[in-house]
Every structure is written in structure tokens, then in C-alpha cells.
Amino acid sequence: MGDNKNNYSNDSIENTRRKKIDEFRQGFDKSVMSDDSTSSSYQYSDDGSYVGYSTNSAPLKRRRKSNEINSYSDSDTKKRIERESKKALKQQSKKDKKIEKNKARRNQKMFRWVWLAMVIIMGIVLSQVILVGVNDMLAISREDDPKVVTISIPADPTMEQVADILAQSGVIDRPEFFVLYANTTSSIDGFRQGEYELETDKDYEAIINFLQSNVNRTDIVTVQITEGMNILEIANKLHEEGVTKDVQEFLDVCNSDIFDEDYAFIADLKNVDERYYKLEGYLFPDTYDFYLNEDPVSTISKMLNNFENRLYFTSDKYFGSSKKHTLDEYVEKSDYSMDEIITIASIIQAEAANSEDMYYVSSVLHNRLDNGVQMGVAQLNCDCTVYYPYRGYEDVPKSIRDSFASSYNTYEFNGLPTGSVCNPSLEAIFAAIDPYDTNYYYFCHSSVEDGSTPYYATNESEHEYNLVLAGLK
């Protein structure tokens, strides 16, 4: 019995010992956990055998601080992480920039190649366009089968209108190049209204020169301006023939100062404001070639040019001089100005029955102008002046017919009227310069039906007798 009490098994003893140790450790750990200065623990192996006792002399607070250092909420850690993040972002930014730079280089190279390709393509296209335009400008493409076409240019055409008309007629192929050429060569002005027969093998320069010359127009109208027609009659005839579009426009140009600079005999006119028509007497009667819808300035210029040529024309055949003289030289030798001679000539033209009669009528007019006051016949008393600028009573507009009074009426005023009453012939002008030498102060004519026989008288009683002979009384 005694042996059993004193002899415990090894397992029991060991279990008891471990139990005691565990109780002691648990109690000790509680004590340590309440101690601020140190901490300790027992060390055991995996099989539960005691290894040893370790003491950690570091304060609990320090251990807690060590634990806090490993926390992400620590300020130093935050700063470190922030620095590292910035560094990482900077490195990433450099990488992104490098990638973008490489990408930009690749794009730039691609753009250069695309741009070069576009330049080459545009160059090819442009060269083809220019080549076509140059060929059209030089009429290279139209030389094989040339034709003659009739084109009609309107009044005051634009450059685009001219180009379109030429293109539609087959004269050119590229109207836009024609407009460009005309603008580049300052040829846009000068295109005239009219019809032209134009060959289709002409280059641009030849086309422009052709169309800007009236000589090449085919819409020509031949009009005869007869001796003795006044300006109003001329304007109406030109309108009837299609030369003048607007009668009033023609009359306005006749009263303008457009021609003063070019013609000295027009610039020298006096009392212009008192005249019905400034150019009356100077539109020389002749047969002219005009154009349809012609500019009135051009139409009138032709007649004034004709007058000027006659003015400086050799006049020996009229005066029988062995020395050549011009009309203006004979006018200068007379007692009258050029305008007065033309006015006398216009009355002679309107009153005389024939060429021979012109010189007798001229003698009557000169006698009255020179000696009319002494002879009691200071007034010319010419019927052609009574209703001027109209031919006669029936030609006066009805609205003013009964009240009309011409300021040219030589039954009312002494001497010559303010200006001419018609446009005289060259022979009437010479008759005005060099009248027959007579003592006549009166003349009259029988009716046209009776042959317009002229009668002359030196005094009023003879004149009354002549009026009976002429069937006028």
C-alpha cells in the first residue's frame, strides 16, 4: 500500500506538473499584462514541452509604437508613400510623354507622306487643268475643224456674259480661263454690242481684238441723212432704222458738252443755252454705215468727223482758185464766224429750190443782213424759222401747237436766229460764203407741185407781184 502512494506513474506526475505550470503562467500573464514596464512569456515546443522563459524588457508603450509604425495611418509612412506615389506618377508621366512623342513622330511622318501625296495629286490635276486652259487659250484644240459662227454681244456686256456666249457658240471651250485671261490682260472693257461672224480657230487675244472693233460687226445699217434734215428728224430716222434705241437719249447727247474737247468748232459755239439743239447744223448730211443699237456718241461722232473733214477739205472746185484752199480759210476771209456761216447755210438749204437758187437766196440774206435796216427789211422773214425745231405747224405736238412760238422766228426778230435750223450741205455752205452779187431783197417760190420756181425782187411791190405769179396770192 505504502509503495502505491509513494510511487506515482510518470504520466501522472507530468500531467500534474504541466497543469501547475499552466496555472502559474496564466496567473503570471495576467500580472504581466497589468504591468506597464515589462512583459514576459513562457516558451514551449510544438509537443508542449517547456523550452524556457523569455522576458521582453521593452516597455509596452514602445511595443505599441512599434505596432503603430507598421500602420498605414502613421504620418511618416504617409509622407513616404506620398513621395513614392509622386515619384511613380512622374515616372509614369515620363513614360506617357515618351509614348505620345513617339506617336506624334509617327503621325507627323504619316501626315508628311499624306501631304506629299496630296501635293503630287493636286499638282497632276492642276497641271492637267492648266494644260487644258493653255490649249484653249492658244486654240490648239480647235485648229482641226474651224468654223465660222455668228455671235451676238448684248449692250454693256459683262465679261462672264461674253465668255458664256463664246463658249455656247463653240468659239472657246473654257469660259473661266477666258475671263481670267481678259482680267489679267486688262481687256475686260471695250466689248461692243453687235453681231460678229467669228472663226472658231482664233486664240484668246485674236478673239478679244476682233470683238472690240466695230469694223468687224455684221449688223450694219446704211442710213442716208439728207441735206436739210434737222436734228429731231435725224433722231427719229435713226430710231426707225434701229440705230438709236432712245430718241431722247440721242437728243440729250446732242445738247451735251461731250464733243467740246475733240472739236474746236463745237467748243467755239456761243449762246448755247439759247439753242434748241447745240449740234444743229454740224451733223453733216451724207450716207453712213451705222450699227444696230449703236451708242449715240459713236453715231454723232461719225457725222461730226465728216463735218470736220469737209471743213479742212480742199475747196478749189467751188471757187475756181489756182491755189488750194480749205473751207475754214474761206470762212476766215468772210465777215462772219463759222457758226454764222453755218446758220446762213441752213436757211439757204431750207429755202432754196436747187443749187443755182442757193446763191440767189444767199444774196438776199446777205443784202438784208448788211443793208436791211436802211432798206426797211432788217428781218429775214424766212418761213423755215417760224416753227423750228419742227418742220411746220403740223409737226408741232398738239399739246403746244396753238401756243407754240419759236425763239428762232425771223418774222419776229432782227438778224440771224440763235443757231442753225437744219444741217446744210457743202454746197449750201459755199453759197453762204460766196453769194451772187445782186440787189435782191426778196424771194419766193411756187409750190412744189408747180416746180418750186424761184422769183426774186428788189423791192416790196415787185415781191407782191411775184407772189401772185407763184400762186401764193
Q: What is the pLDDT of residue 31?
A: 53
Residue 98 maps to a domain: no
Residue 223 maps to a domain: no
Residues 6+ apart with CB under 8 A from 235: 244, 247, 250, 251, 254
One domain, residues 360 and 242:
yes
Is 0.85 topped by the overall pTM? no
- Whether omega for the bond prior to residue 59 falls within 30 degrees of 0, making it cis, is no
Residue 303 maps to a domain: yes
Strands 194-199 and 220-224: unpaired
One domain, residues 268 and 322:
yes
Residue 344 maps to a domain: yes
Contact 406, 388 (CB under 8 A): yes
User: What's the pLDDT tens digit per position in 234-252?
Assistant: 999 999 999 999 999 999 9
Is residue 33 classed exposed, middle or buried when 0-12, 13-18 and 19+ CB atoms within 10 A define those classes? Answer: exposed
What average pLDDT is seen over the chain? 82
Vertex 61: Cα angle to 55 and 63 (nearest 5): 55
Nearest of 345, 326, 342, 341 to residue 279 by alpha carbon: 342
Q: What is the pLDDT of residue 310?
A: 87
Q: What is the pLDDT of residue 43?
A: 52
Structural domain including 36 reads 2-67
One domain, residues 393 and 420:
yes
One domain, residues 269 and 171:
no
Tell me, what CATH number does 203's domain have? 3.30.1490.480
One domain, residues 250 and 382:
yes
Q: Pick the more confident residue, 239 or 110.
A: 239
The whole-angstrom separation of Cα 343 and Cα 362 is 11
Residue 93 maps to a domain: no
Residue 176 maps to a domain: yes
**Which of 101-110, 192-201, 386-395 shows the highest mean pLDDT?**
386-395
Is the pLDDT assigned to residue 108 strictly greater than 80?
A: no
One domain, residues 434 and 345:
yes
One domain, residues 210 and 265:
no
Count: domains in the chain: 3
Contact 422, 384 (CB under 8 A): yes
Q: Pick the more confident residue, 61 or 455.
A: 455
User: What's the pLDDT tens digit per position in 132-155?
Assistant: 556 667 667 666 678 889 989 888
Is the pLDDT assigned to residue 96 strictly greater than 90?
A: no
One domain, residues 61 and 175:
no
DSSP state of 59: -
The whole-angstrom separation of Cα 283 and Cα 304 is 6
The whole-angstrom separation of Cα 28 and Cα 40 is 9
One domain, residues 332 and 407:
yes
